[in-house]
Structure 1
């Protein structure tokens, strides 16, 4: 079931991550015209509105991690009744490590229209200035707070080839970078991006071990986004895959077919593996 044109809707709007001048004109328009404005922090919303010179015309309500389960139903009901419900967080895009996912899921379930008003993103801004590959990346959010859980989560990402983007609290930054250096290797390239778009914006690039040492004496202030290079694939040795090829041949598979299958799964050149298998059979 989908909503009819002209019916109510939920609009997720990106807000500035630091510099209020980054707010798109559409955000100001939505703040002026929405029937309901759901904000992660209504006090910060008022400050943003003052900076933009706008006054919300609709009802302003809070929507944060502690009340989103119950408040989602109310917001979806308002949209289903024909209202335009604007959802904003303190900074960046709703539902990206911020409240928003539950109301979207509830709206989709109810057949209520959901749209987005794109805006600033700490994830994309940090990725763009990091100097690391941007063709393929993944967003991992905040690492676990407990040391054991964090070490386990990072170990699972050690072989990830895509550039990784994380959020982290300033006071946990040194221990997180140290844990990353242990899991990924101290030489793994990374970038620490602090206070993006703000007056004291800083981007520090280097190996994880170097960055961990740098942050040890750093003031525990500023929003932090970490960008970490993906793992460099280790070239496999065709000789290591010959045994599997010979086992398949012994089981009745044609040598050519066995080589094709094993080469694809092991990531080795097919011709080199075929030649190695011929030598092993002699």
Structure 2
């Protein structure tokens, strides 16, 4: 892969989408910064795939914006050079060889044909380049989908469940490749259900459920204080002036506070005369944090 190039990353602001009366994404705001791997996490039906498709211009949002390097996907002059995406390992013509499939994408993306062989080697499919895709395993199709995403040598990668179908060796390979990509100053946004893998791979995580943001922050974060009160806005003001404090508000009556322990949050509420309905400390383990946050939404 090429040397570092300037990138602004991915910025999602107030993104919402409903299908009929069903809200899929609800006023979602988050960032995926350059030089990092951002894990995009949530239960089935949380709105992850819909969000990724809106970022890539495949679904029109009801409101809100999403940008890649400061522009919407449709505004990018050469999309393949800015953002590469692999949203599934399907949609391949089973009778077409892997190399032929990639060369078709080279033509449509304005990429030299030699790039097809370069990325086939990069994803470990050089020896299977001549084989028909219908004979590929799921793991091989995942690698081919990633090869398509890498064709334009992009500054940003957006991947949906890229480890699905990979064996343990393939998962380690994927982790190494994405880590190298981010270490070059590029942006990686990866959706996954494999929390243990995200604990190893991701620098930051965005956790959503029912289309709403529950948490955005580092994987190896300090404990998060989960506090619920009918006076959440007042408590937020009382806490916000403290140095090093970060506050997320996933619901009108709920705050997620980092940078203070539970005792300090409780004392602040008491001194301000704020009634608390719930106060709990969530440990820094990603799996514990994920299940604590999503279970609270059920």
Q: Which protein has the bigger strand share?
A: 2
Higher relative contact order (CA 8 A, sep 6+): 2
The TM-score with structure 2 as length reference comes to 0.25
TM-score w.r.t. structure 1 length? 0.26
Structure with the higher helix share, 1 or 2: 1
